Structure 1
Amino acid sequence: MSNLSEEDIQKELERAANQISDRIADNMKTFGVSSTVGRLLGIIYMNRAPMTLDELAEETGMSKTRMSQVMRQMISLNIAEKEFVKGSRKEHYNVESNYVQTFISLFTTNWREVVSKNSLLAKRLQDKIAHVEQVSKEDFTPETQAKMDDLKQELDDWIHYYDWIQRLVEVFESGKIFDLVPVEPPDKSNHNQGGHIHE
């Protein structure tokens, strides 16, 4: 096999970096995050340095306004932040470089919102049922009573379910998850000697 030129090596490395960036974008879909958010996350992550809206717009072919909107969304998801770059007046953005922390930020931010919305809905429905029971002048038919009891039980189960998710979110946010599922340190293998670990 002929030796690759420096230019060929650079192209191969760039292709590999692009594949990683694309996979990061694809993985974001599992969190219900738009592909555009995932794409920007991958681009900035693989850039290994903060980027401006102009640079992101040029990289993606999208407008600077759109880049600004997406960056605001990423900041709200706790996976990006503005970063000061000495000597530049432009705003620069960087992303969380730790995969595990990115997962925790996306998981907890999204599920906190889900818990809040559904808990409020369950409470409103419980109040509505309680109001119907309070103002009713007559006894309910067995069929109506059974349906009401079933719905009340469903709402109780729903509230307990979202309470469990809330507590799970807190396990992630507090860092207790690492006591249950530790993050293994990178393998310090010596790839030049058959993959044996350095002593």
Structure 2
Amino acid sequence: MKGASSEFLQKIEEQYIEGIADNMRTYGVSATVGRVLGVIYTNRKPMTLEELSTETGMSKTRMSQVVREMIDLNIASKVYEKGVRKDLYNVEEDYYQTFISLFTSNWQKVIQKNKMIGKRLANQIHKELEQNDQLTEETEEELNLWLTETKQWMNYYQWLDELVDFFESGEIFKHVPKPE
């Protein structure tokens, strides 16, 4: 932008960072993570915890927690730069990959948790059906309905698991291509 003032550029950068923060809320991630993602992204190079703390006004301890959360979400990583002794952190610069990382990271946790719940419920129901010879016909029917429901539950989470794989493999782009 020829002749753009540094104040104008600063405002653009702040709006960009706030836009990312708003997007993160949509993905179920804190706006704080979004702001830090935006700060690193607009910096256009890896940053230390100290630099991030200064830039955001957060404590180094809080910054460390936020960066750890970003690494867990697969949207940031620790990087090495020759001659730099402090840990540096960078973010994924591909918007599509950031979306996939956020989408799949959140769903993987839900999928694993609910698969465990489904297995536990199915085991409990099977055990009750096999070991309790005092069940009324009505109770046995109800337990079998719950067993069917649990199987549908497990099928749903298996389907979600396959959907996550569809995104992570990049197969999604064969069906919904990125714009040129």
The bucket for the TM-score relative to the shorter chain is: over 0.9
Q: Which structure ranks higher in relative contact order (CA pairs < 8 Å, sequence separation ≥ 6)?
A: 2
- Give the C-alpha shift of residue 141 in structure 1: 4.2
One-letter identity of the residue aligned with 2:92: E
Q: What corresponds to 1:52 in structure 2? A: 48
Aligned-residue CA RMSD (Å): 1.6
Q: Which 10-residue stretch deviates more, 152-161 or 123-132?
A: 152-161
Q: 1:90, CA displacement in angstroms? A: 1.2
Aligned to 2:136: 140
Alignment check: 8 A CA contact 2:129 2:140 kept:
no
The aligned residue for residue 13 of structure 1 is 9
More divergent stretch after superposition (108-117 vs 84-93): 84-93
Partners of 1:23 and 1:150 in 2: how far apart? 47
CA offsets per residue over residues 35-84 of structure 1, 9 Å max, x none?
22111111111111111100111112211111112111111211111122
Distance 1:131 1:59 in 2: 57
Q: Deviations over 1:93-120 (max 9, x none)?
A: 1100110000011111211111111001
- The 5-angstrom pairing of residues 20-169 of structure 1 reads 20-142=16-138, 144-169=139-164
3-state SS of 1:51 partner: coil
Aligned residues: 179
3-state SS of the aligned residue for 1:94? strand
| Dislocated runs of 4+, deviation >6 Å | none
CA offset digits 1:1-20 (Å, max 9, x no partner): xxxx95x6221121111111
**2:120, 2:42 → 1: CA distance?**
46
Stretches of structure 2 lacking an aligned partner (at least 5 in a row): none
Counterpart code for 2:113: K
Alpha-carbon distance between aligned partners in 2 of 1:149 and 1:12, rounded to the nearest angstrom: 66
- Asked if the contact 2:129/2:143 (under 8 Å) is kept, the reply is no
Tell me the SS of whatever aligns to 1:90.
coil
Identity of aligned residues (%): 50
In structure 2, the residue corresponding to 1:105 is in which secondary structure?
helix
Larger Rg: 1
CA distance in 2, matches of 1:33, 1:146: 42
The structural deviation recorded for 1:145 is 3.1
Q: Which moved more, 1:160-169 or 1:150-159?
A: 150-159
Instruction: Provide the residue aligned with 1:176 in structure 2.
Output: 171
Taking the aligned partners of 2:20 and 2:145, their CA distance within structure 1 comes to 43
Matched residue SS, 2:45: coil
